[in-house]
Amino acid sequence: MTRLKTNLQNLFDSDQKNQKPLIQAIQQDINIINKITFILQSATQEFMLFIIIQACIRSIITQKVIYLFFEQQIKMKIFKILKSMDVFGAALFQRVDQNAQIYKSIFGGVISLLIFSSSLAYTIWEFYKWNTYQLNPKISTFLYASDFSLLDQNYGIVKINYWKDNIDTIDPFENRILIPLISYTENYIVVDTQVLKFSNETSYNGNQFLIPQMKLGFSQINGSLMTTSEMYIYFVKCSEELLNENEKCASQEIIDDFFKQPLNTIVMQIHYNQLNSKDASIEQSVQEFLIQVEQENCYTLNTYLQTTHYEVRNQFLFGEPYYYEFVNGVQIQPQTNSLHYCKQAFGYETYSVIYIEMKGNQFKTILEYPNIADILANIGSIVSVLFMVRFIIIQLNSYFLHQQVISDLISFYYPQFQHIKIFKNWRFQIIKVQLKNEQIDIREYEQFYRNIKGQMELKMTLLNILYEISRLYFLIRSIKIREEIERSHQIGISLSSIYQQNNEIESSPKSTPRKSEQLLLNNLDVNILSLTQRKHQRLESIENEIPIEQNDFYSVNSIYS
Check whether residue 172 and residue 257 sit in a common domain: yes
Query: Could you tell me the residue range of the domain that residue 271 belongs to?
Result: 139-368
- Mean of pLDDT over the chain: 80
Check whether residue 437 and residue 360 sit in a common domain: no
Check whether 36 has a pLDDT greater than 80: no
Residue of 224 and 435 predicted with greater confidence? 435
* Mean pLDDT in residue range 69-78: 81
* Mean pLDDT in residue range 5-13: 52
Check whether 44 has a pLDDT greater than 90: no
* Mean pLDDT in residue range 506-527: 64
pLDDT band of 286, cuts 50, 70, 90: very high
Q: What is the pLDDT of residue 232?
A: 93
Poorest-confidence range of 164-178, 455-469, 509-523?
A: 509-523
Check whether residue 423 and residue 363 sit in a common domain: no
Is 422 within the bounds of a domain? yes
Amino acid sitting at position 80: K
Q: What is the pLDDT of residue 94?
A: 65
pLDDT band of 33, cuts 50, 70, 90: low
Give DSSP secondary structure letters for 381-431: HHHHHHTTHHHHHHHHHHHHHHHHHHHHHHHHH-GGGGGEEEEE-TT--EE
pLDDT tens string 184-229: 998 888 888 999 998 888 888 778 899 998 888 777 767 666 777 8
pLDDT tens string 375-410: 888 888 888 887 788 888 888 888 888 888 899 889
Is 169 within the bounds of a domain? yes
Check whether residue 254 and residue 178 sit in a common domain: yes
Is 227 within the bounds of a domain? yes
Q: What is the pLDDT of residue 74?
A: 86
Is 96 within the bounds of a domain? no
Q: What is the pLDDT of residue 290?
A: 92
Check whether residue 263 and residue 322 sit in a common domain: yes
Rounded Cα distance between 19 and 10, Å, is: 8
* Mean pLDDT in residue range 50-70: 72
pLDDT band of 549, cuts 50, 70, 90: low
- The total of structural domains in the chain comes to 3
Radius of gyration of the chain (CA): 56
CB atoms within 10 A of CB 207: 19
Check whether residue 179 and residue 328 sit in a common domain: yes
Residue 432's nearest CA partner among 419, 444, 421, 423 is 423
Is 530 within the bounds of a domain? no
Poorest-confidence range of 35-44, 269-278, 527-536?
A: 35-44
Poorest-confidence range of 20-34, 313-327, 434-448?
A: 20-34
Q: What is the pLDDT of residue 134?
A: 82
Rounded Cα distance between 307 and 218, Å, is: 13
Residue of 225 and 561 predicted with greater confidence? 225
pLDDT tens string 443-486: 998 999 999 999 988 888 889 989 999 999 999 999 989 888 88
Is 509 within the bounds of a domain? no
Q: What is the pLDDT of residue 206?
A: 77
pLDDT tens string 109-144: 888 888 888 888 888 998 888 888 888 888 888 887
Q: What is the pLDDT of residue 223?
A: 65
Is 512 within the bounds of a domain? no
Q: What is the pLDDT of residue 540?
A: 44
| 148 close to 305: Cβ distance less than 8 angstroms | no
Backbone angles phi, psi at 184, to 5 degrees: -110, 140
Is 375 within the bounds of a domain? no
Check whether residue 45 and residue 188 sit in a common domain: no
* Mean pLDDT in residue range 285-303: 91
Rounded Cα distance between 234 and 293, Å, is: 11
Q: What is the pLDDT of residue 333?
A: 92
Check whether residue 300 and residue 435 sit in a common domain: no
Check whether 180 has a pLDDT greater than 70: yes
Amino acid sitting at position 541: S
pLDDT band of 263, cuts 50, 70, 90: confident
Check whether residue 67 and residue 188 sit in a common domain: no
Can you tell me whether residue 526 is helix, strand or coil? coil
Check whether residue 150 and residue 54 sit in a common domain: no
Domain boundary (442, 466, 485) is at 485
Please compute, for residue 403, the number of CA atoms within 13 A of its CA located in the half-sphere on the CB side.
7
Check whether residue 317 and residue 447 sit in a common domain: no
Q: What is the pLDDT of residue 271?
A: 92
pLDDT band of 38, cuts 50, 70, 90: low
| 175 close to 250: Cβ distance less than 8 angstroms | yes
Check whether 505 has a pLDDT greater than 60: no
Check whether residue 363 and residue 422 sit in a common domain: no
pLDDT band of 39, cuts 50, 70, 90: low
